[in-house]
Amino acid sequence: MSEEIQTQNNEVIEEKATETKVETKSFEKKKKISIEELEKELLAKQNNNGKFPEFNIGDTVKVNVKIIEGDKQRIQAYEGTVIAIKHGGPRKTFTVRRISYGVAMERVFPYHSPVIDSIELVRKGKARRAKLYYLRDRYGKSAVLTEKI
């Protein structure tokens, strides 16, 4: 009687062992997806890479931004000097500085944002720095960069 119980217990233990082996094998077959791969897929769907012109720091650009007011949508232009470009790839951002009615404003735009309708390059500026934060202290002609020919 005790031998029959032991053989039944051994069979049950062997069945459980084979089940766990099968589970671990199915777990190993799953593919891990990284954040970078997800971002690349999303950017491929959005396809902003060929849509915008190439611009650098010091350039004057006009960014046409989509603004939603209630159920209406309109496009507003924001023109200014690019003073910084940060990050790269899917998280690329650029900062545009403009002076309106004597008040300086800076706005940071994500490059791959669906809010941006289009970007126009107004003029190329000559800059010898990676970031033009020193323009924050200047107004008038001293804040204007020379044009690149």
Domain-embedded: residue 77: yes
Which band of pLDDT confidence, cut at 50, 70 and 90, is reported for residue 123? very high
Domain-embedded: residue 2: no
Residues 47/115, Cβ–Cβ less than 8 Å: no
What are 59-108's pLDDT values in tens digits? Answer: 999 999 999 999 999 999 999 999 999 988 788 899 999 999 989 999 99
Domain count, the chain: 1
> Is the pLDDT score of 143 beyond 90?
no
Domain-embedded: residue 60: yes
Domain-embedded: residue 24: no
Domain-embedded: residue 41: no
pLDDT higher at 115 or 41: 115
Domain-embedded: residue 43: no
Q: Of the spans 6-15, 31-40, 48-57, 89-98, which averages the highest pLDDT?
A: 89-98
What are 45-56's pLDDT values in tens digits? Answer: 766 666 888 999
Element (H, E) at 75: strand 72-86
Element (H, E) at 26: helix 2-28
Domain that holds residue 95: 53-143
Give the end-to-end CA distance of the chain in Å, rounded to a whole number.
Answer: 99
C-alpha gyration radius of the chain: 29
DSSP state of 126: -
| pTM (2 d.p.) | 0.69
Which band of pLDDT confidence, cut at 50, 70 and 90, is reported for residue 113? confident
What is the arithmetic mean of pLDDT over 114-118?
A: 90
Domain-embedded: residue 101: yes
pLDDT higher at 76 or 146: 76
Domain-embedded: residue 136: yes
pLDDT higher at 118 or 28: 118
pLDDT (0 to 100) of residue 145: 82
Tell me which residue has tokens 């940071």. Answer: 108
Question: How far apart, in whole angstroms, are the C-alpha atoms of residue 149 and residue 88?
Answer: 27
Residues 65/78, Cβ–Cβ less than 8 Å: yes
Task: Mark residue 117 as left, alpha or beta (left: phi above 0; alpha: psi -120 to 50; beta: remaining).
Answer: alpha
pLDDT higher at 117 or 30: 117
Q: Please report, for the domain that includes residue 84, its CATH number.
A: 2.30.30.790
